[in-house]
Amino acid sequence: MILTTEIRNKAKYLVSLYPNLPYLIYTRRMELLSSNNDHPDENIGGGSGGRVGQPTEQKAILLITDPHLRELERTGEVLEGLMGVYSLERQRLIESLYMRQETKGKVAKDLGISVRTLERWNKEFLTDFAERMGLFEERGEWE
């Protein structure tokens, strides 16, 4: 798998959302639940045309199928999964770089590693994250 610039940037963006994920997920759910414009009442007689007729069911389907909400939820699941298998040093690297947005030099110094080692670990993390998120499959990047 090749970690292209596009995939790397998408992975970095998603990881950077982690500190605010609960709020972002809540906000997206509220947007979906409060929007009434998706399925206006078209009751002019006749059948429902295959649509689910119940508003509650429509909202449930919308929550389950919304790609943005699914991506946010999946981001949290993948990050928590990776943090559970990584060493404490690598966890600290991820937290420092993405949650606290510290510089690579400061993080490397705090961890007692070279900047090159930090960059290698970071690339490995982003590759693992992108793979688990399915970002390679979206682009057909499997080799």
DSSP letter for 39, please: S
Residue 29 token pair: 């759910």
Position 128, amino acid? D
25 and 76 Cβ atoms separated by less than 8 Å: yes
* Residue, of 137 and 65, whose pLDDT is higher: 65
Could you give the CA distance from residue 96 to residue 46 in angstroms, rounded to a whole number? 59
Instruction: Please state the rounded mean pLDDT for residues 39-62.
Output: 67
Interval 51-107: pLDDT, tens:
556 788 888 888 898 999 999 999 999 999 999 999 999 999 999 999 899 999 999
DSSP code per residue over 36-79: -SSS----SSS--TTS---HHHHHHHHHHH-HHHHHHHHHHHHH
Please provide the average confidence, as pLDDT, over all residues in the chain.
86
Q: Which of 75, 73, 79, 81 is nearest to 25 (CA)?
A: 73
How much is the pLDDT for 81? Answer: 95
